Copies of this chain bind each other. A is one copy, B any other.
Amino acid sequence: MTTSTHAPVDQSVFLRACRGEPVPHPPVWFMRQAGRSLPEYRKIRAGIPMLEACRRPDLVCEITLQPVRRLGVDAAIFFSDIVVPLAAVGVDLDIVPGTGPVVGQPVRSAADVDRLRPLTPADVEYVSEAVRLLVAELGGIPLIGFAGAPFTLASYLVEGGPSRTYARTKALMYGQPDVWHALCARLAQITREFLEVQIAAGASAVQLFDSWAGALSEADYRSYVLPHSAAVLAGLDRVPRIHFGVGTGHMLGAIAEAGADVVGVDWRTPLDVAAAQIGPGRAVQGNLDPTVLFAPWEFVEAQVRRVLAEGAAAAGHVFNLGHGVLPDTDPDILGRVVDLVHGGSRP
């Protein structure tokens, strides 16, 4: 890649699609495209804990670029983890391989919330540096900033780790709404600042991951979560804002209302159904089931064509999976999907 011959990033297929402008083909990238499905990622990460990798600009830059080089995707996603900004403000946590984020002292009281301090750019200077390196390397290819949304971050802080039921999270939400809202307001500040830092350093778009918001009813989402996600997204409207959660098909309108220019959709909701739910003027992204990539190519191809056809119903369409790339995925299949979306084929 060079930075001399590319079209301006602002005119990239990805950003045009996010804005609902005409494009020769939908742009394509994959959630978790930078990660364990790539052998070069497994090699460079060997022996380096996740949080350490996220704090080393040289590694973040290289890992973020790997799928761009190999797959020819239309956007890079900043390599990070949703708990990076929490660790940056001093929360005692670790990312345990095979488990996920584990928090030393769960947050379950007003006093716990009070200990959560605001994030400043100085806390994440390594993020600014990595973004600057990346933007220089990427040239005309846009970089998408990355952050977790308040509800999903709160769920890890309250549960102390991953959960299937979110019982403690919801118990706090229902039983101590003041503590809940205070926690989410602090998390919204941290998340917004984490994304501001990335935009200031050159990110062209942001994706807010509210991975587990789909565990809530729409009524609970609107009461307890939407205002905080909206507080994150409201001030970032100088770049396209993608907003995604798994299993949010029952409340895509609310996900959009939180301030999404592009609404991320999982594999359960076809993009034309999603487009009808979110109304005009917003783009959609997602829907291809990550497990489809384990099927024979003929099946993959048919599903990609279905997603392309259904995505055409929206104001804009960013091709993506309905959730992250699974670790066992064959990168060659990802490459063939990119080519298919681009209107060609790969031998």
Contact = CB atoms under 8 A, between A and B. Distances in A.
Contacts of A216: 268
11 contacts: A165-B290, A165-B291, A165-B326, A170-B291, A170-B294, A171-B295, A174-B292, A174-B295, A216-B268, A219-B270, A250-B269
A167 B328 contact: yes
A281 to B, nearest CB: 23
A217 interface: yes
A246 to B, nearest CB: 10
A299 B175 contact: yes
A162 to B, nearest CB: 9
Contacts of A267: 217
Given A175-B295, A294-B174, A270 B167 contact: no
Contacts of A219: 270
A165 B249 CA distance: 17
A289 interface: yes
Contact of A249 (B250, B291, B326): B250
A171 B294 contact: yes
A346 to B, nearest CB: 20
Nearest to A164: B164
A41 interface: no
Contacts of A295: 171, 174-175
A347 interface: no
A126 interface: no
A145 interface: no
A291 B171 contact: yes
Contacts of A269: 217, 250
Nearest to A326: B167
B249 A294 contact: no
A219 B267 CA distance: 11
